């Protein structure tokens, strides 16, 4: 009889099937289909020799909860499979994944080139904590390959990009940047949070490492903080032992289980996020009170053609500016009735926020403006509600805003 596990290994499934079945098998003892939660911190060994072998990585197994747990390991195998990487490391947050990925390649005296618009937490880590350990950073416009090339120094040890970027949805050419990195023997780290593996697989087109805030689309329910680093096994093993383990950044079994449950609907969710976001972006772009819309699915987006080549869908995040600026922008988000003012993104609920005073407040204003984050910019994470209801909500908020101000 062919074992289901063997069959699963040989199937060339599409992403939606892989999300549900890849690297996940019924429990051999109970035949339970949903994953067991194993919260144990300690694991018993039959003898001292086996214990030593597991610790030295010579044998499969778990030896202490800070280095992972069996529930997490199922999830890590699944994420590695979906991203097309050799191995994955699941950690306590997206920021844990990002800091581990960077510290995995950088040490005192090293330099990293980072694309100019990145998540505010990443910026904060790179400008306040990393310099305390002697790590230098330069933020450059990676849409200009010459700017990236000229930022590379003799002590550059990594290139870090986020595409599409938070919050301006700048799309970067992973293939071209990957080729440049290969020429200079630099690892390319890509934050794939806004896309999820459903829409973009950076490892297939030139990246060496993928990082995720799984808090967003991967879990998809706004109830878990988690992150992943995906890449070559030796690199991930080092990060597991020396960074996650020694810094105590592990993801616990219960949260791993919640993600294993949440991820099953990722294919469906992401499809809906994308189709609704396209409709809403088109509505906003045609609205007389909206100054500018940033969404890769719009023809007006500067990297629309690249986005169509590189991404399987345009994602669920839209940024826009209302006519007027800061005051009008804040009044608009206060007038929304369905969308909630909140940090985070990728949840079932539509969430709206003001990057200059919320997610990107850590970036000084002068820098923020260079990153294209104006005071009036609003970011919308399109939820799973009916797109027409989200449009109605935006419409009423825009109308109320300008009827009050007499425009």
66 as an active site residue: the answer is: yes
Q: Which residues contact 349 (CB under 8 A, 6 or more apart)?
A: 222, 339, 340, 342, 383, 384, 385
Nearest residue (CB) to ligand LCS, 68 versus 90: 90
Closest distance between ligand LCS and the C-beta of residue 271, in Å?
Answer: 20
Nearest residue (CB) to ligand LCS, 38 versus 266: 266
Sign of CA dihedral 144, 196, 198, 24: positive
Closest distance between ligand LCS and the C-beta of residue 107, in Å?
Answer: 23
Q: Which residues contact 304 (CB under 8 A, 6 or more apart)?
A: 296, 297, 298
Identify the CA nearest to 317 among candidates 193, 197, 142, 143. 193
Distance CA 394, CA 399 (A): 9
Total site size for ligand LCS, rule CB under 6 A: 19
Nearest residue (CB) to ligand LCS, 355 versus 376: 355
Among 93, 143, 303, 319, binds ligand LCS (CB under 6 A): 93
Q: Does 37 bind ligand LCS (CB under 6 A)?
A: no
Identify the CA nearest to 243 among candidates 124, 127, 117, 133. 133
117 as an active site residue: the answer is: no
Task: Check if the beta carbon of residue 296 is closer than 8 Å to that of residue 314.
Answer: yes
Q: Does 345 bind ligand LCS (CB under 6 A)?
A: yes
Active-site annotation holder among 22, 141, 191, 208: 191
Among 38-46, 271-279, 337-345, 383-391, which window interacts with ligand LCS (CB under 6 A)? 337-345
Q: Does 22 bind ligand LCS (CB under 6 A)?
A: no
Paired with 231 in beta bridges are 87
Closest distance between ligand LCS and the C-beta of residue 220, in Å?
Answer: 13
Beta 136-140 vs 111-115: how paired, if at all? parallel
Closest distance between ligand LCS and the C-beta of residue 370, in Å?
Answer: 19
Among 95, 203, 235, 290, binds ligand LCS (CB under 6 A): 95
Identify the CA nearest to 189 among candidates 203, 171, 172, 200. 203
Neighbours of 106 (CB within 10 A): 23
169 Rama class: left (phi>0) / alpha (psi -120 to 50) / beta: left
Identify the CA nearest to 280 among candidates 215, 193, 350, 192. 350
Active-site annotation holder among 18, 110, 117, 119: 119
Binding mask 351-390 for ligand LCS (x = CB under 6 A): --------x-------------------------------
Among 64-72, 257-265, 281-289, 338-346, which window interacts with ligand LCS (CB under 6 A)? 338-346
Closest distance between ligand LCS and the C-beta of residue 254, in Å?
Answer: 17
331 as an active site residue: the answer is: no
Among 117, 162, 208, 328, binds ligand LCS (CB under 6 A): 162
116 as an active site residue: the answer is: no
Residues 109-148 that bind ligand LCS (CB under 6 A): 119, 121
Distance CA 289, CA 404 (A): 13
Identify the CA nearest to 40 among candidates 256, 241, 252, 260. 252
Q: Which residues are catalytic?
A: 66, 119, 191, 216
Using CB under 6 A, list all residues that contact ligand LCS: 93-95, 98, 119, 121, 162, 166, 191, 193-194, 213, 215, 225, 227, 343-345, 359
């Amino acid at each position: 009889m062919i074992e289901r596990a063997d069959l699963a290994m040989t199937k060339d499934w599409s992403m939606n099937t892989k999300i549900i079945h890849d690297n996940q098998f019924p429990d051999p003892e109970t035949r339970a289909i949903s994953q067991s939660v194993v919260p144990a911190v300690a694991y018993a060994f039959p003898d001292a020799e086996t214990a030593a072998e597991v610790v030295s990585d010579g044998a499969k197994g778990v030896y202490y909860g800070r280095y992972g747990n069996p529930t997490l390991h199922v999830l890590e195998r699944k994420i590695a499979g979906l991203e097309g990487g050799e191995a994955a490391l699941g950690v306590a947050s997206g920021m844990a994944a990002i800091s581990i990925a960077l510290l995995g390649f950088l040490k005192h005296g090293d330099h990293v080139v980072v694309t100019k618009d990145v998540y505010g937490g990443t910026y904060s880590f790179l400008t306040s904590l990393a310099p305390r350990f002697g790590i230098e950073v330069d933020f450059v416009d990676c849409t200009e390959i010459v700017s990236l090339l000229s930022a590379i120094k003799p002590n550059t040890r990594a290139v870090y990009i986020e595409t599409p970027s938070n919050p301006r949805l700048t799309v970067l050419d992973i293939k071209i940047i990957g080729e440049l990195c290969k020429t200079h023997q630099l690892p390319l780290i890509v934050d794939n949070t806004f896309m999820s593996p459903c829409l973009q697989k950076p490892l297939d087109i030139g990246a060496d490492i993928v990082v995720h805030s799984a808090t967003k689309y991967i879990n998809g329910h706004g109830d878990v903080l988690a992150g992943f680093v995906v890449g070559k096994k030796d690199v991930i093993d080092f990060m597991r032992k020396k960074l996650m383990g020694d810094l105590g950044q592990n993801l616990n079994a219960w949260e791993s289980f919640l993600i294993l449950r949440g991820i099953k609907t990722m294919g469906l969710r992401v499809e809906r996020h994308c189709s609704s976001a396209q409709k809403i972006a088109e509505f906003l772009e045609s609205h007389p009170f909206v100054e500018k819309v940033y969404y890769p699915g719009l023809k007006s987006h500067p990297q629309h053609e690249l986005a169509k080549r590189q991404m399987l869908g345009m994602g669920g995040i839209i940024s826009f500016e209302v006519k007027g600026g800061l005051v009008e922008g804040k009044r608009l988000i206060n007038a929304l009735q369905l969308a909630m003012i909140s940090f985070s993104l990728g949840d079932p609920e539509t969430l709206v926020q003001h990057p200059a005073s919320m997610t990107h407040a850590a970036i000084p204003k002068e820098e923020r403006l260079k990153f294209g984050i104006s005071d009036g910019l609003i970011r919308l994470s399109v939820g799973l509600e009916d797109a027409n209801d989200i449009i109605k909500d935006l419409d009423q908020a825009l109308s109320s805003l300008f009827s009050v101000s007499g425009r």
